[in-house]
């Protein structure tokens, strides 16, 4: 049985719901168990996930956790606390030796059986190179060289290795001690801590959005790899909306946006609900969006008053001096 972990909160159900649908769509005859890891999820969201699993006759478990070890780590509107829950998988599932982790902004486009069968003996996990894996600025920032920078959106985790080498604590420690290096917090930490201990998978198991650009010369990937990227472009196994062009946004022109909308239509979530949650949720450094926006507006008003009064004073002083 394929064991798959997704980590989310109510803010990201617009992604999680369609991701779950896409998994079950391609595993009607292959048993898989989806674990949705969350700190808190409204009952309406839990029921929505359970309804999808029931419809497909699949297994899905919502696992509510208290992730004290990752509290206080660097978060933002884009990188929420839930990105760190993947660190905890070996401890959350002490009897499992392997787990397939996937980001929620992913769609499964074919069976995951071959990926699941990958031999990761002696490795921390199996990964796919990042879409800009050969960007030297990424490597300079985290201070790791000699291997391509990998994307953390798909991880076939060797749970025993993580437990033996205390990987979770080392990841948290790196982020706490080097926040200035962590532009992509979980991903940067994984690239540092697991350097030299990962097995690279074909691009089709985490096919990222920049690889759909027409002109590869602007993609920070060595030209020798373009042919392999092209091989997977038409039919990747896993589609990852890794950049800012998410398929639930109006201006997204990703070729798999229609597939996302098709999967979304088979859930109870809507774009309108996503926008409402985005306004009401608390994504930005522990404060709600509404609260944050209120203080930003107040600051802008004070700044405007200060500028106007300064200009008035300068004009008055200039006229008086004459």
Domain ranges of the chain: 2-274
Distance of alpha carbon 73 from alpha carbon 81, whole angstroms: 8
The verdict on domain 2-274 having CATH code 3.90.550.10 is yes
169 or 274, higher pLDDT: 169
Question: Looking at residues 129-142, what average pLDDT do you find?
Answer: 94
Q: CB neighbours of 208 closer than 8 A, spacing ≥ 6?
A: 130, 131, 151, 153, 240, 242, 243
Question: Looking at residues 133-159, what average pLDDT do you find?
Answer: 95
Average pLDDT, the chain: 87
pLDDT tier at 10, thresholds 50, 70, 90: confident
Tens of pLDDT, residue by residue over 28-86, are 999 999 999 999 899 999 999 999 999 999 999 999 988 777 776 766 556 677 888 89
Task: Determine the straight-line distance between the first and last CA of the chain, rounded to whole angstroms.
Answer: 87
pLDDT of residue 9: 87
Does pLDDT of 122 surpass 70?
A: yes
User: Which residues are paired to 238 by β-bridges?
Assistant: 108
Tens of pLDDT, residue by residue over 153-185, are 999 999 999 999 999 999 999 998 988 887 888
Distance of alpha carbon 19 from alpha carbon 120, whole angstroms: 25
Does pLDDT of 283 surpass 50?
A: no
Q: What is the 3-state secondary structure (H, E, C) of 289-319?
A: HHHHHHHHHHHHHHHHHHHHHHHHHHHHHHH
pLDDT of residue 275: 55
pLDDT of residue 292: 43
173 token code pair: 């420690």
pLDDT of residue 288: 40
User: Which residues are paired to 38 by β-bridges?
Assistant: 64
295 or 221, higher pLDDT: 221
pLDDT of residue 159: 97
Predicted TM-score (pTM) of the model is 0.82
């Amino acid at each position: 049985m394929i064991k798959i972990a997704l980590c989310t909160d109510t803010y990201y159900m617009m992604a999680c719901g369609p991701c779950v649908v896409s998994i079950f769509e391609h595993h009607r005859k292959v048993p898989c168990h989806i674990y949705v890891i969350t700190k808190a999820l409204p009952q309406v969201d839990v029921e929505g996930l359970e309804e999808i699993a029931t419809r497909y006759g699949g297994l899905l478990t919502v696992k509510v956790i208290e992730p004290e070890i990752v509290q206080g780590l660097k978060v933002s509107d884009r990188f929420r606390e839930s990105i760190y829950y993947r660190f905890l998988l070996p401890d959350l599932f002490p009897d499992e030796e392997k787990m397939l982790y996937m980001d929620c902004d992913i769609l499964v486009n074919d069976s995951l059986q071959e990926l699941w069968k990958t031999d990761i003996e002696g490795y921390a996990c199996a990964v796919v190179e990042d879409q800009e894996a050969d960007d030297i600025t990424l490597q300079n920032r985290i201070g790791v060289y000699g291997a391509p920078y990998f994307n953390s959106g798909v991880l076939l985790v060797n749970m025993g290795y993580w437990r033996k080498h205390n990987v979770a604590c080392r990841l948290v420690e790196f982020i706490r001690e080097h926040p200035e290096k962590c532009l992509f917090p979980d991903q940067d930490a994984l690239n540092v801590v697991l350097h030299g201990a990962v097995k690279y998978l074909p691009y089709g198991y985490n096919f990222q959005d920049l690889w759909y650009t027409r002109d590869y010369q602007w993609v920070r990937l060595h030209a020798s790899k373009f042919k392999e990227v092209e091989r997977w472009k038409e039919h990747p196994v896993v589609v990852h909306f890794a950049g800012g062009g998410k398929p639930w946004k109006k201006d997204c022109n990703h070729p798999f946006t229609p597939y996302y909308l098709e999967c979304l239509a088979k859930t109870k979530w809507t774009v309108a609900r996503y926008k409402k949650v985005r306004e009401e949720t608390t994504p930005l450094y522990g404060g709600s969006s509404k609260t944050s926006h209120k203080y930003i507006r107040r600051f802008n008003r004070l700044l405007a008053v200060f500028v106007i009064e300064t200009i008035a004073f300068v004009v008055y002083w200039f006229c008086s001096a004459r």
